[in-house]
């Protein structure tokens, strides 16, 4: 039973390959070799699925990536990482990291201009304040870019945070630690044991926004401030703690020296220890260059919207989704990133191209890959069964989608499944953070709270949705004629 | 049509509450014959049936017995009355029930409905007089009708699959019974062949019809491998014992294969055409629940093997970070409490009391300070710690300010400083008693 789906999947995708490949190559300009651009698609898909890619020291990044090398500054990181490596995940401690680059310097902030909600950030205020504290502790030289900064101790970051919000109770501390974990999980910081440094995603802040951060860090109190009487740092008219380039490194290197062995080298350098940020050739430029400035902007906006909005976006808001010609180019842009457009009535979003997804999932070493753990996948399956399959079997759901208004209570998962209870909470947290689950608040006795499948299920292609249905049927009713039919069709 | 002329049959209303999990079945076995057919489907009708679907089943089941096409109830609620009555009879005991008691048991239903039902039930003999004599007031229920209800309920549950199981099991026993004649076996095999053929035909027609109808009806009609296996075993028994029945058995065999094939085809069409989640309907809710409750972590996780999901990648815009910092919840500033004397304090009420008691106390303090003298320097009396000193001083100052008391403080301009002492400086002062006129 465990063997069957795997081989079937492979066969399935083999069969689908012809159609998918045609889909990708058709829109490409015949005169222009589309293959090299498409060759990077699996790498882009991996980066989206598993976070920033780790590269070898001399390994070049694929087109469309920002290649970040930490240089000397990180030579100590792997050693300090040591035992704490699992906390940060494989790629984060690598000396060279690659992140997908956004076209034309756009960031997901562009969604605001279009009145579209970005992927929600869990406990966003708290998380961002902790990130500000990390910046305060790690961004030693304000004349340079924030990334890579210098390593700082967790204690320093927490002290900065304490000074920032003016409270030092246990709950504040544990929440800050939770925010640090979330930031580390999402590549905004790298945490190795007691040492924190800015993560690769901090290198994606556009240079023009650095002044905002610089201003912010200037008015934040340093870690020492937390020891004295509480002062509110937020009165911008009277910055209490103007860090000078010589002062901050001293503060953070005190801590850094202890657990770290290497002094925060040369704070005066723009990029300490030869750290580098290189953007490879843009993979989308050739597609975009054919358009005038306005259309180009529309394409980029639509690209960012389908890729980064929380929910599918309505085509009325995005010209590049309305206009079939622009949409075709958009589809090509997405194809280079291993993605495909997914339509549901008048709304659009993007998802993994079936072929690319199969290649990513079936890549060698897939068993040890990052991504969802076994427990997390089990919890997600349970939510799908309770929230979608059972209501559907009861005839309550009419729409053909994997989203559902019927939440499953945590109690149901805790009491009436074979899942180890210890894993449940953390699995729910991870799934929630990834948008795979949505928490529903209880509104009344009849409508108790719980979990439903999250917005990521909008991003499944029709083939993936069908396969998910089949896998569920194969797992729940392997003896049914339906399962027999599914197996027969796949064979 | 007048009510008594209607042949109305008593069937229970299937409600979702009454759905029961299917009975456990023996372990499934792969058929080693030429076509394995679909594997066993243990429970097939758990899907909710609408009223119309319930009625349709009623009509089909009793078509063979009905006198005319309007003979079956046209409202599933009518069946409730019969069921309520049978329940009441079961509880009544040997006394059975009077008309009034029956009416009371069915008080939830309107009178005219109850009466018309009762007429039908009596007309068909499901409810009879205890003694067949005029003006009989007590009634009893028929055991046969109750058993009929139970049978109908089972038919409703799985479209007759379990009946087919039982029938096959009984036929198997009969075929092995030495008393069974060849003619009986032939008849039995013929009946079964006919049933399987009709079953298969219905499936084939459904498979070629609209997908909606197929989706609605198919689960009831799908057979299980178990049924096909039993049928083949019966076929084998008959053929071994009466090789002469070869031809009848060939027909039976063909009917069984046709049924297996039709069942598999219907499942295949559903799987092909049912969208991306609708097929989930085709497993009963109980199967899903059982899966959720009994599957191991590995088995659950295996469902999502090969699916790629996005890792969380929230965006923290610099402006949003600055906003978050500006909007940080500010702790309420702590206000220091005013300093208080460590000595016991009588409290404001008493001290505000300017009455005689207050004056007396001040006079007593002043007198004890003077110790009989007319005047005394303050350095002499202000000794000890500052807390004690200031109390005395306060009392003396109060006495000084009371015109009705004869004590005054006289201060000079001199100041004695003592950085190490307590207090570190003091003015030179004297307390004196001034003579009064009276």
Contact A234 B263 (CB under 8 A): no
Domains of chain A with CATH codes: 3-53+281-361 (no CATH), 75-86+104-276 (no CATH), 372-459 (1.10.10.10)
Is B317 in the same domain as B172?
yes
Is B45 in the same domain as B101?
yes
Is B65 in the same domain as B176?
no
> A84-93, A231-240, A409-418, B204-213: which has the highest mean pLDDT?
A409-418
Q: Which of residues B157, B177, B196 is at a domain's end?
A: B157
Containing A264, the helix (H) or strand (E) segment is none
At residue B402, does pLDDT exceed 70?
A: yes
Of B16, B267, B330, the CB nearest to A482: B267
Contact A419 B297 (CB under 8 A): yes
Is B174 in the same domain as B74?
no
Which residues between 2 and 21 in chain B have a beta carbon less than 8 angstroms from any beta carbon of chain A?
16
Residues 6+ apart with CB under 8 A from B180: B174
pLDDT above 90: percentage of residues in chain B: 2
Task: Decide which of B153 and A35 is more confident.
Answer: B153
- Looking at the complex, does the CB of residue A23 fall below 8 Å from at least one CB of chain B? no
- Chain A residues with beta carbon closer than 8 angstroms to that of B287: 393, 476-477, 480
Is B357 in the same domain as B315?
no
Identify whether B107 is part of a domain.
yes
C-alpha span between B143 and A456 (Å, rounded): 58
Is B383 in the same domain as B307?
no
Contact A419 B304 (CB under 8 A): no
β-pair partners for A350: A341
Identify whether B293 is part of a domain.
yes
Contact B297 A400 (CB under 8 A): no
Total domains, chain B: 3
Is B104 in the same domain as B76?
yes
Check: CB of residue B438 under 8 Å from CB of residue B391: no
- Chain B residues with beta carbon closer than 8 angstroms to that of A220: 325
Identify whether B24 is part of a domain.
no
pLDDT tens-place string over residues A375-390: 899 999 999 999 999 9
β-pair partners for A152: A196
- Looking at the complex, does the CB of residue B35 fall below 8 Å from at least one CB of chain A? no
DSSP A396: -
Is B56 in the same domain as B94?
yes
Rounded to whole angstroms, what are the CA distances from B233 to B44, B168, B189, B215, B429?
Answer: 23, 9, 12, 31, 127
Is B175 in the same domain as B308?
yes
Of B300, B308, B312, the CB nearest to A185: B312
Is B192 in the same domain as B323?
yes
Contact B310 A402 (CB under 8 A): no
- Looking at the complex, does the CB of residue B38 fall below 8 Å from at least one CB of chain A? yes
Chain A interface test: which of B300, B320, B326, B333 (most A C-beta within 10 Å): B300
Domain extent for B238: 160-329
Check: CB of residue A485 under 8 Å from CB of residue B271: yes
Q: Which of residues B127, B157, B187 is at a domain's end?
A: B157
At residue B280, does pLDDT exceed 60?
A: yes
- Chain B residues with beta carbon closer than 8 angstroms to that of A213: 318, 321-322
Predicted confidence band at A369 (pLDDT cuts at 50, 70, 90)?
low
- Looking at the complex, does the CB of residue B179 fall below 8 Å from at least one CB of chain A? no
Token digits of residue B420:
């190490």
Of A45, A213, A401, the CB nearest to B308: A45
Identify whether B23 is part of a domain.
no
pLDDT tens-place string over residues A160-187: 888 888 877 888 889 999 999 999 988 8
What's the average model confidence in pLDDT over B107-135?
A: 81
Identify whether B339 is part of a domain.
no
> A344-353, B198-207, B352-361: which has the highest mean pLDDT?
A344-353
- Looking at the complex, does the CB of residue B298 fall below 8 Å from at least one CB of chain A? yes
Contact A433 B270 (CB under 8 A): no
Which residues between 143 and 172 in chain B have a beta carbon less than 8 angstroms from any beta carbon of chain A?
none
Of A205, A357, A401, the CB nearest to B318: A205
Is B400 in the same domain as B312?
no
Confidence (pLDDT) at A301: 94
Which residues between 220 and 259 in chain A have a beta carbon less than 8 angstroms from any beta carbon of chain B?
220, 230, 232, 234
- Looking at the complex, does the CB of residue B288 fall below 8 Å from at least one CB of chain A? yes
- Looking at the complex, does the CB of residue B300 fall below 8 Å from at least one CB of chain A? yes
- Looking at the complex, does the CB of residue A164 fall below 8 Å from at least one CB of chain B? yes
Identify whether B40 is part of a domain.
yes
pLDDT tens-place string over residues A98-139: 888 898 888 999 998 888 988 888 888 899 999 999 999 988
Check: CB of residue B36 under 8 Å from CB of residue B225: yes
Identify whether B366 is part of a domain.
yes
* Nearest in space to B314 (alpha carbons), one of A186, A283, A132: A186
Predicted confidence band at A349 (pLDDT cuts at 50, 70, 90)?
very high
Q: Which of residues B114, B139, B157 is at a domain's end?
A: B157
Is B169 in the same domain as B56?
no
pLDDT tens-place string over residues B144-165: 777 777 777 776 666 666 777 7
Check: CB of residue B47 under 8 Å from CB of residue B219: yes
Q: Minimal Cα–Cα distance from B204 to chain A, Å?
A: 15
Confidence (pLDDT) at A289: 87
Token digits of residue B423:
């207090």
Phi first, then psi, for residue A281 (nearest 5°) are -55, 135
Over chain A, what is the mean pLDDT? 76
- For β-strands B138-141 and A437-440, DSSP reports them as unpaired
Chain B interface test: which of A388, A482, A488 (most B C-beta within 10 Å): A482
**Closest chain A residue to B316, measured at CA:** A128
CA dihedral sign of residues A170, A172, A173, A178: positive
Tell me whether 0.85 is exceeded by the ipTM: no
Confidence (pLDDT) at A238: 38
- CATH number for the domain spanning B53: value is 1.10.10.10
Contact A393 B288 (CB under 8 A): yes
Confidence (pLDDT) at B218: 66
Identify whether B63 is part of a domain.
yes
At residue B247, does pLDDT exceed 90?
A: no
* Centroid of chain to Cα A106: 17
Q: Where are the alpha helices (DSSP H) in A337-436?
A: 354-361, 374-384, 390-393, 410-415, 421-433
pLDDT tens-place string over residues A202-235: 988 988 889 999 999 988 887 775 544 444 444 4
Contact B303 A475 (CB under 8 A): yes
Check: CB of residue A335 under 8 Å from CB of residue A353: yes
Of A375, A395, A417, the CB nearest to B47: A395
């Amino acid at each position: 039973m465990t063997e069957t789906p795997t081989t079937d999947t492979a066969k399935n995708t083999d069969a689908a390959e012809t159609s998918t490949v045609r889909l990708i190559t058709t829109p490409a300009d015949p005169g222009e070799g589309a293959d090299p651009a498409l060759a990077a698609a699996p790498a882009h898909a991996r980066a989206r699925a598993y976070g920033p890619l780790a590269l070898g020291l001399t390994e070049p990044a694929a087109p469309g990536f920002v290649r970040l090398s930490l240089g000397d500054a990180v030579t100590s990181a792997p050693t300090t990482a040591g035992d704490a490596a699992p906390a940060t995940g494989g790629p984060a401690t690598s000396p060279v990291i690659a992140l997908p680059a956004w076209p034309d310097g756009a960031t997901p902030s562009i969604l605001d201009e279009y009145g579209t909600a970005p992927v929600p950030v869990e406990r966003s205020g708290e998380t961002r304040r902790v990130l500000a504290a990390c910046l305060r502790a790690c961004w030693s030289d304000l004349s340079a870019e924030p990334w890579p900064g210098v390593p700082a101790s967790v204690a320093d970051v927490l002290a900065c945070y304490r000074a920032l919000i003016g409270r030092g109770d246990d709950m504040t501390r544990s929440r800050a630690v939770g925010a640090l974990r979330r930031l580390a999980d999402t590549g905004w910081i790298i945490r190795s044991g007691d040492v924190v440094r800015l993560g690769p995603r901090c290198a994606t802040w556009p240079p023009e926004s650095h002044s905002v951060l610089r201003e912010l860090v200037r008015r934040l109190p340093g870690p020492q401030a937390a020891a004295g009487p509480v002062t509110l740092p937020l009165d911008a008219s009277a910055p209490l703690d103007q860090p000078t380039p010589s002062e901050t490194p001293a503060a953070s290197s005190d801590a850094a020296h202890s657990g770290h062995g290497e002094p925060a080298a040369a704070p005066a350098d723009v990029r300490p220890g030869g750290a580098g940020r290189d953007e490879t050739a843009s993979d989308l430029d050739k597609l975009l260059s054919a358009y005038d400035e306005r259309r180009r902007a529309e394409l980029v906006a639509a690209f960012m919207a389908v890729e980064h909005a929380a929910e599918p976006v309505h085509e009325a808001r995005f010209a590049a989704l309305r206009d079939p010609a622009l949409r075709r180019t958009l589809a090509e842009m997405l194809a280079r990133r291993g993605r495909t457009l997914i339509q549901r009535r008048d709304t659009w979003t993007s998802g993994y191209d079936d072929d690319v997804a199969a290649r990513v999932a079936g890549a060698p070493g897939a068993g040890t890959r990052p991504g969802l753990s076994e427990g997390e996948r089990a919890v997600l399956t349970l939510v799908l069964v309770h929230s979608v399959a059972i209501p559907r079997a009861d005839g309550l759901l009419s729409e053909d989608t994997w989203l559902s208004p019927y939440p499953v209570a945590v109690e149901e998962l805790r009491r009436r499944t074979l899942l180890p209870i210890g894993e449940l909470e953390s699995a729910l947290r991870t799934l929630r953070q990834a948008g795979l689950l949505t928490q529903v608040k209880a509104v009344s006795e009849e409508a108790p709270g719980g979990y439903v499948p999250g917005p990521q299920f909008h991003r499944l292609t029709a083939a993936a949705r069908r396969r998910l249905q089949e896998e569920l049927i194969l797992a729940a009713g392997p003896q049914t004629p339906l399962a027999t039919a599914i197996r027969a069709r796949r064979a | 049509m007048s009510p008594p002329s209607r042949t109305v049959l008593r069937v229970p209303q299937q409600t979702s509450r009454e759905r029961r999990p299917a009975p456990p079945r023996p372990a499934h076995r792969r058929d080693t014959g030429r076509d394995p057919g679909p594997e066993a489907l243990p429970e097939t009708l758990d899907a909710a049936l609408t009223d119309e679907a319930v009625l349709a089943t009623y009509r089909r089941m009793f078509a063979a017995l009905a006198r005319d096409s309007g003979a079956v109830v046209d409202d599933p609620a009518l069946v409730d009355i019969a069921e309520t009555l049978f329940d009441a009879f079961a509880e009544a005991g040997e006394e059975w029930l009077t008309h009034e008691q029956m009416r009371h048991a069915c008080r939830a239903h309107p009178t005219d409905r109850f009466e018309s039902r009762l007429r039908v039930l009596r007309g068909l003999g499901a409810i009879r007089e205890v003694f067949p004599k005029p003006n009989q007031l007590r009634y009893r229920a028929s055991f046969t009708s109750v058993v009929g209800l139970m049978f109908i309920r089972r038919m409703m549950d799985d479209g007759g699959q379990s009946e087919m199981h039982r029938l096959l099991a009984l036929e198997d026993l009969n075929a092995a019974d030495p008393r069974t004649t060849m003619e009986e076996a032939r008849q039995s095999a013929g009946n079964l062949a006919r049933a399987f053929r009709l079953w298969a035909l219905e499936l084939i027609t459904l498979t070629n019809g609209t997908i909606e109808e197929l989706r609605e009806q198919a689960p009831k009609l799908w057979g299980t491998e178990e049924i096909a296996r039993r049928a083949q075993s019966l076929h084998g028994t008959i053929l071994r014992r009466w090789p002469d029945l070869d031809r009848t058995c060939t027909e039976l065999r063909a009917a069984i294969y046709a049924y297996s094939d039709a069942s598999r085809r219907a499942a295949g069409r559903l799987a092909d055409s049912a969208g991306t989640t609708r097929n989930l309907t085709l497993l009963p809710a109980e199967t899903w629940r059982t899966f959720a409750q009994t599957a191991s972590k590995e088995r659950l996780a295996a469902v999502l093997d090969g699916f790629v999901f996005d890792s969380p990648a929230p965006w923290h815009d610099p402006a949003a970070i600055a906003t978050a910092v500006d909007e940080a919840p500010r702790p309420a500033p702590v206000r220091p409490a005013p300093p208080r004397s460590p000595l016991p304090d009588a409290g404001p009420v008493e001290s505000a009391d300017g009455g005689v008691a207050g004056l007396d106390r001040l006079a007593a303090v002043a007198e004890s300070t003077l110790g009989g003298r007319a005047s005394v320097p303050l350095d002499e009396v202000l000794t000890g710690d500052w807390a004690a000193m200031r109390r005395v001083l306060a009392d003396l100052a109060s006495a000084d300010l009371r015109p009705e008391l004869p004590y005054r403080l006289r201060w000079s301009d001199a100041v004695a400083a003592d950085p190490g002492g307590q207090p570190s400086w003091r003015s030179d002062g004297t307390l004196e008693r001034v003579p009064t006129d009276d």
